[in-house]
Homo-oligomer: A and B are copies of this chain.
Amino acid sequence: MLSVRVTDSLYTRGPVNPADLALTKEQVKNANSKSVEGIVESDPWWVDVGLAREKIPAMGAKALLHAGPPINWEKASGPLKGAILGAVLYEGWAESEREAAALVKAGEVNLECTHSYNAVGPMAGVISPSMPVFELEDKRYGTKTYSNMNEGIGKVLRYGAYSKEVLTKLRWMSEKLAPVLQATIKKLKEDTGGLPIKPLIAQGLTMGDECHNRCVATTCLFARQIAPYLVMTGFDAKSLHEVTQFIKENDFMMLNINMAAAKAMSLAGDGVEHSTIVTALSRNGTDVGIWVSSLGQRWFTAAAPVPKGVLFPGFKEADGNPDIGDSAITETAGFGGFAMASAPAIVSWVGGSVQGALDVTNKMYEITYSKHKYFQIPFLGFKGTPTGIDIRKVVKTGIVPTINTGIAHRKAGLGQIGAGVVSFPMGAFKDAFKVYVDKYGL
């Protein structure tokens, strides 16, 4: 029997006698079943595009959302700092890097978690008020979720780059890409009510995507799906050309939408009394953090590890920043790294072998509640993906969730240096488990 003393003020209720709590395995099973049903039955549709300040409820005028658990400027890693500086410059709150840093240090900018706003962003995940976002609506559970738009690869804000070219692209995205996509989704919505994302992910998994670090199939499906509406928006040919060209060149176009969908799914499994299911996995470049369904959206954190993988020429492992980004929300929802068996070709991007990719998926069945009803892996005989990370199983087996990820340079301003695979540290799960046991007994 576990006898745990938890010191965190929010949850400390003194020593607990588990027998008094008498929480049965059956109760936990029912709770987890409910959580996972939410994750699996959630039905997020892309329904709109708009600026973050217009779309994300209660987002402050001077707020900058960032990936992962809460963090301040001092503790932020290089790439997050770079993305913050870039966002301040993009917003026109400062004229120079130095001015921007001073403003943030002076507390004039509010750094807040994306997850607190039902939003997600890959890598640094910085969303500023004037950035365009995708809005998704869960047609089953009603929740709205948001993501920023993917900039493609190369010098991009999400990896901490903030040069003039980065800002120029962000402005083009706001002034050209977003209006065309907004008009496209409006046309699409008039016809079909929006674009359901779950079928795209399900189909992507039969087309070599795992829908996190390999999104080429979902991006192609997206491009084909939206084309009939995009051509009806009334925009001039040059604008439509620029936008379709951008989509043609960006194999990660769908990543952010897949993430917003995963956020909706995870939220649908969140807030279930007694549930031991993980409802957020994220990283801010310094710490990782997780949520557990029954523990009130409290972050359980641990130091973020540096991912191992394939580095671009000229970089070494010591250049890699600790893991960063909200994109592990895909694994939280039963795809991404958990579905690597669907995406053997991903090993050319994240490293390792095809067998290694299969092994990751197979191992994740040991720490998840069930197989996904809709997300299937053809190569495993159409077995459902491992879905619903159970902190009890993580603690019991010693197996931690494995995700795939991009790797940022640890210095601000330099951007992506590779991609790889990384496992979440056990500490976060153990801490959550202690708090769970303290709250409910087991």
Contact = CB atoms under 8 A, between A and B. Distances in A.
16 contacts: A206-B208, A206-B345, A207-B208, A207-B209, A207-B217, A208-B378, A217-B217, A220-B221, A224-B244, A224-B247, A227-B244, A227-B247, A229-B241, A230-B231, A231-B240, A379-B379
Contact of A223 (B208, B217, B224, B347): B224
A168 interface: no
B231 A231 contact: yes
A247 B247 CA distance: 17
A381 B356 CA distance: 11
Nearest to A220: B220
Contacts of A220: 207, 217, 220-221, 223-224
A223 B232 contact: no
Q: Please provide the 5 A-B residue pairs with the shortest distance between their CB atoms, ordered closest to farther.
A: A220-B220, A344-B378, A231-B240, A227-B244, A223-B224
Contacts of A397: none
Nearest to A357: B378
Nearest to A342: B208
A245 interface: yes
B241 A228 contact: yes
A298 to B, nearest CB: 40
A248 interface: yes
Given A248-B225, A344-B379, A234 B237 contact: yes
A219 interface: yes
Interface string A355-378: 000000000000000000000001
Interface of A: 203, 206-209, 216-217, 219-221, 223-225, 227-232, 234, 237, 240-241, 244-245, 247-248, 344-345, 347, 353-354, 378-379, 381-382
Contacts of A347: 378
B227 A232 contact: no
Given A344-B378, A378-B345, A248 B232 contact: no
A346 to B, nearest CB: 9
Contacts of A221: 220
Contacts of A240: 231-232
Contacts of A225: 248
B207 A231 contact: no
Contacts of A208: 206-208, 217, 378
Contacts of A241: 228-229, 231-232
A234 to B, nearest CB: 7
Most buried by B among A230, A240, A378, A382: A378
A67 to B, nearest CB: 28
A247 B231 CA distance: 13
Nearest to A234: B237
A344 to B, nearest CB: 4
A345 B375 CA distance: 13
Contacts of A227: 223, 227, 230, 244, 247-248
A232 B224 contact: no
Nearest to A344: B378
Contact of A248 (B217, B224, B245, B345): B224
Contact of A224 (B219, B231, B234, B354): B219
Contacts of A382: 354
Nearest to A240: B231
Given A219-B224, A227-B230, A232-B241, 4 more contacts: A208-B378, A220-B224, A224-B224, A227-B227
Nearest to A208: B207
A225 B203 CA distance: 20
A185 to B, nearest CB: 15
